[in-house]
Amino acid sequence: MITPTPLMRLVAGVWGFKTLAVGVELGLFTWLSRTGTATADEVAAEFGLAERPTDMLLAASASLGLLEKAGDGYRNSELAEQFLVEGRPYYFGAQVRYSDLRTYLPWHRIGEALRTDRPLTWDPQVQKSMFDTTDPAMLAQFWDAMYSTSRFTARALAEAYDFGAHRRLLDVGGGAGAFPIELCRRLPDLTATVLDLPHVCERADERIAEAGLGERIGSVAGDFLADPELPGGHDVVLLSMILHDWDEPTNRALLARCHAALPPGGAIVVCELLLDDDRTGPPEAALMGMNMLVETEGGRNYSGAEYATWLADAGFVDVRTVRFDAPGANGAVVGRRG
């Protein structure tokens, strides 16, 4: 018998997210990583909480797979220990914090976005894009969130696609450099360039220096939407979590410039949350598309078939899709300049 229980799970989805977000905000998972196991009384004392809300937070966090019961206490689950402890290589808390502080409240007005076809997190009448802002704290949160999501996504991509066949990577819209850092750590013969806006390159340079890869990864300040040409001298171009921000004509124009920047035999890698060709899922891609309604003017998530068509039209050959599982992408559409 069909029941409304699946609908109730959707209703409760926001409760789960906010439980995760408040745990990250408190620093619960980072603290538990240091202490190991803690009782509810110890948690309450550490964070200045009363008994009732402490019990509810711990029970809810355990139900979500974030904590595990250990005798009379709680400890981090493997998921929380790997991804919600500050300082860990693939810390995901920055993405949680950005979503909580930047996009959660605008999502409450999703009906407005549907009716107006306008973003809710910034004003196109006074800003060129969501990246054009005078709020440095918001920008810092955004780039930390993208770095948080990109590190593990880069690892998954590296296991699905052989970058060992390439020697010099151009990361278009590379943000803080998560993909080049991860890839160059794995491949000692690979060098890379991050192309992004000047203030973003400053952040990338900091991350690259922290990683000790300054001799192999550099940055070039530019605007990949406006510059007539992309930097040359690379044999692979990466567009990761970039094309879903823009409409089809913008993306086709960018892919044409990528083709022009590559030598014969050079490769392009489009790494994204890909929709199924019939546009019925998967949920992570379809819901990210809804998030583009909240955050962009023309962005949406596209299918692998759409990207393949655009790449072929731009002149790429041997176009194929590789699949993997990561927070920022579920696959990559790759092609070669003939």
Q: Which residues are catalytic?
A: 244
CB 258 within 8 A of CB 314: yes
Distance (Å, whole) CA 302 – CA 31: 40
The amino acid sitting at 38 is A
CB 294 within 8 A of CB 120: yes
Structure tokens at 217: 């990864």
The dihedral of CA 307, 308, 309, 311: what is its sign? positive
Distance (Å, whole) CA 102 – CA 228: 32
Q: Are strands 217-221 and 191-196 parallel, antiparallel or unpaired?
A: parallel
What's the Rg (C-alpha) of the chain?
21
The amino acid sitting at 124 is P
Half-sphere exposure (Cβ direction) of 300: Cα atoms closer than 13 Å: 13
**CB neighbour class for 284 (10 Å; exposed up to 12, middle 13-18, buried from 19):** middle
